[in-house]
Amino acid sequence: RLLPDGTSFFDAVSLSLITVPALDRRQIVIVLSDAQDNTSFFDEAALIEAAKRTDAVVYTVLPFSEAANTGQYASRLQSLSLLTGGRLVPALRDVQIGSILTEAINEFRHSYVLRYTLAGAIKPGWHKLTVKVRGGRGYSVRARAGYFIG
């Protein structure tokens, strides 16, 4: 018996986010997907938890054929990117996918890393993080949405 085609978006992306932190190496995950899922063992909540705990920056690319879909699936990719300090890169009709991937990698390579050390006792769990530039006219900041303490 043939099984219907399926997409395991949650499983594939969740597993790609399980990384061993390395202080001397930054990690990037590039997801090219319409973000639809119909066969995963994991669900969206598990994906969000994996994203909160990863050190990887996630860039998502929404294929041009799905770019008109501004609903649930596009917002799923956007949320995943923003949570990890990456961004959604919409594919354009006349642009080769290779140039989109190169743009994401170059942007990642040319970004800065801010490190900080927590002081005092902090409760376990998710903690929201906001990064701003004083007098930041002309600057834009993209950072992780928070950090997780286990």
How far separated are the first and last CA of the chain, in Å rounded? 44
Average pLDDT value for the chain? 83
Buried b or exposed e, range 83-121, using 16+ CB within 10 angstroms: bbbbbbbbbeeeeeeeebbeebeebbeeeeeeeeeeeee
pLDDT in tens, the chain (150 residues): 455 577 899 999 999 998 777 777 889 999 998 898 889 999 999 999 999 989 899 999 887 665 555 567 888 999 999 999 999 987 766 667 888 888 889 989 988 877 777 787 778 888 888 888 887 677 778 888 888 887
d(CA 134, CA 103): 28
Q: Identify how many contiguous H helices and E strands the chain contains and give both numbers.
A: 4, 5
- Beta-strand relationship, 57-62 and 146-149: unpaired
Q: Please, are residues 8 and 40 in contact by the beta-carbon 8 Å criterion?
A: yes
